[in-house]
Amino acid sequence: MKKCNSLQEVRDEIDVLDQQLIELISQRSHLIRQAAAFKDTIEDVKAEDRIDDVMQRARNKAISLGINPNMISDLFKVMIDEMVETEIAEFRNSGKF
């Protein structure tokens, strides 16, 4: 972890991380769209067991890093909910539904 020497330097580092987070979320979203092609039903798209697994791994990682697991759960819930909706739309557009 970089040791910053001013508030501006902290803010600059945060800005860089924010951009990286957005890029990673974009990559995840593109993969979600691809996943729809491998699924046969809406239930496969919703994949409750997979979502539970992802959420638990995210919480465990947050705990291991010493950050609030509830915050991470909240962030992941919003992200996953939106991406499931995107995947459902992609699935429906594929003509399988």
Q: Is residue 54 part of a domain?
A: yes
Q: Is residue 21 part of a domain?
A: yes
What does the block give as tokens for 1?
């972890």
Q: Is residue 2 part of a domain?
A: no
pTM recorded for the entire structure: 0.85
Q: Is residue 1 part of a domain?
A: no
One digit per residue, the tens of pLDDT, for the chain of length 97 reads: 889 999 999 999 999 999 999 999 999 999 998 998 899 999 999 999 999 999 999 999 999 999 999 999 999 999 999 999 999 998 888 876 6
The domain tally of the chain equals: 1
pLDDT at residue number 96: 65
* DSSP secondary structure code for residue 68 in this structure: -
Pair 62, 72: CB distance under 8 Å: yes
CATH number of the domain that residue 15 is part of = 1.20.59.10
Q: Is residue 41 part of a domain?
A: yes
Q: Which domain holds residue 67?
A: 7-93
pLDDT at residue number 97: 60
Cα(80)–Cα(90) distance, rounded to whole angstroms? 15
Cα(68)–Cα(59) distance, rounded to whole angstroms? 8
